[in-house]
Amino acid sequence: MNTRLNTFFTACLDILLGANREEVRLRQVTAEDLVRRFHPQNHDSIQTVSIFSYRDPLIRILIHSLKYHGRKASADLFAPHLYDMLVEMLSDEYLFGASDMPLLVPIPLFEKRLQERGYNQSTMLAQALSMQSAFPLSLDESLLVRIRDTGSQTAFSRAKRLKNTHGAFHAKYPDLVRGKTVILIDDVLTTGATIDEARKTLLEAGARDVYGIVVAH
């Protein structure tokens, strides 16, 4: 089927099945569309970089579709940009002779919430990122565990978030962390309290360095 016919039939199905405008818009987005929206920001106190602005309506829609609807295509759109940032962060150390590749670790959900949702959007991002890599990346989805449900922190101040996330994580396999560089992956960074607590947990478990790459700030 040629491109025009495919587009025509897709449009007809949208009408028949009642696809909303957001779904139609998302189907049209490509990774290249995100290039001009690239808006990296360093969060030096937690050794983390975020790459887009959450204020951008399209970025917000893509994250929403990933976080609340498990839309893998959104993770795939972000993956090339996450990878570019990863290479920039680690090129000096890993692309020129280092033998140990970094561990990719998604920020985990509390087990009950994961069961209710059926997926972890941060894991989806980490999986998509690992598929982009031209050099081996070790993805470990079970290394970091959330042992306490911190609930929604949307309305919390930074001080309250720091208190709420304290002790929320556990490094399940310290031997796998010890002496390693770990890259934490998450979807949105607000105050940085969550990724900061995860970072501290991994450093206490013996990680050499812990960095974070987040889709949006």
Local confidence pLDDT in tens for the 217 residues of the chain: 454 555 444 444 444 444 566 677 788 888 889 999 999 999 999 999 999 999 999 999 999 999 999 999 999 999 999 999 998 888 766 555 555 778 999 999 999 999 999 999 999 999 999 998 776 678 999 999 999 887 666 656 667 766 778 899 999 999 999 999 999 999 999 999 999 999 999 999 999 999 999 999 9
pLDDT confidence of residue 12? 46
pLDDT confidence of residue 16? 41
pLDDT confidence of residue 94? 58
- What tokens does 180 get? 């390693």
Query: What are the respective helix, strand and coil percentages of the chain, to the nearest 5?
Result: 50, 15, 30
Q: What is this structure's pTM?
A: 0.85
pLDDT confidence of residue 62? 96
Q: Are 37 and 80 within 8 A, CB to CB?
A: no
Q: Among candidates 83, 65, 169, which has minimal Cα distance to 121?
A: 65
Q: Return the beta strands (E) in 151-193 as ranges.
A: 169-171, 181-188
Residue 207 CB neighbour total at 10 angstroms: 22
The third-level CATH classification (topology) of the domain covering 31-216 is Rossmann fold (3.40.50)
Which string of DSSP letters, residue by residue, matches 51-106? EE-TTSHHHHHHHHHHHHH--HHHHHHHHHHHHHHHHHHHHHHHTTT-SSPPEEEE
- In this structure, the strands spanning 48-52 and 41-43 are antiparallel
The domain limits of the chain are 31-216
Instruction: Quote the radius of gyration of the chain (alpha carbons, Å).
Output: 18
